[in-house]
Amino acid sequence: MGYSISVYDVKGKLTEEKKLDDNIFNDDNINESLLHEFVVMQLSNSRINIAHTKTRWDITASNRKLYRQKWTGKARVGDAASPIRRKGWVAFGPRNERNFTKAMPKKQRRKALFAALTKKVKAGGVLWLNNYSFKEIRTKDAVSVLDKLSISEKKTLVVISERNDLVYKSFSNVPLAKTILVNYLNPKDLLTYSNVLFIGDSLEKVSEIFLSK
């Protein structure tokens, strides 16, 4: 099944309809398991390993047995650094040397991205702005565009083809918007944000970047 998308100007006026690339926006590309695997990989690779407990060798304490093994009427314990005592070492605790990073083949990563894009188009969450024609960096203008497209009250991912301070800084103070370069498109953001707003030639760049070998 082929998909097409409406193209709007900054005033929210429909200018044309464009057909999307079937190699990317295609129901055959939807693979939920690959999509899940990619998101799990993203979350794992962005994880900051902070939790770190002390082992036996990190505790400074005498290794002398605290009291005799028998005939005291107390539980048998070892030294003061025992994991069952306060300020002792932690048995099987988390360590920050653990590596949580995951990997995924390039073809599978792209397939997962195409799946996320297709699902977003099917849900009607992809919009195309032909050009951000404002001349000054103003949050008011960015909000105006979102209002005209009726997406100001939903989380919106703004996609640009190259670094553009005019767009980036105008949307930076919009609470529900996030701006990224097209080559940083990823399933996690596509699933997190309700709408995806492609500006200029950024949508055409998707095919150029992600279909190249």
Average pLDDT for 116-126: 94
The 10s digit of each residue's pLDDT in 12-40 is 999 989 899 999 999 999 999 999 999 99
Beta strands 4-8; 14-19: pairing state: antiparallel
- Looking at residue 68, what is its pLDDT? 87
Query: With 90 as the cut, is the pLDDT of residue 109 above it?
Result: yes
Exposure string of 180-203, with b = 16+ CB inside 10 Å and e = fewer, is bbbeebbbbbbeebebbbbbbebb
Top CATH class of 4-30+104-210 equals alpha beta
Q: Where are the domains of the chain?
A: 4-30+104-210, 48-99
Average pLDDT for 156-174: 94
Query: With 80 as the cut, is the pLDDT of residue 210 above it?
Result: yes
CB–CB of 197/149 below 8 Å?
A: yes
- Looking at residue 136, what is its pLDDT? 93
Strand partners of residue 157: 178, 196
Confidence of residue 149 (pLDDT cuts 50, 70, 90): very high
Query: With 90 as the cut, is the pLDDT of residue 80 above it?
Result: no
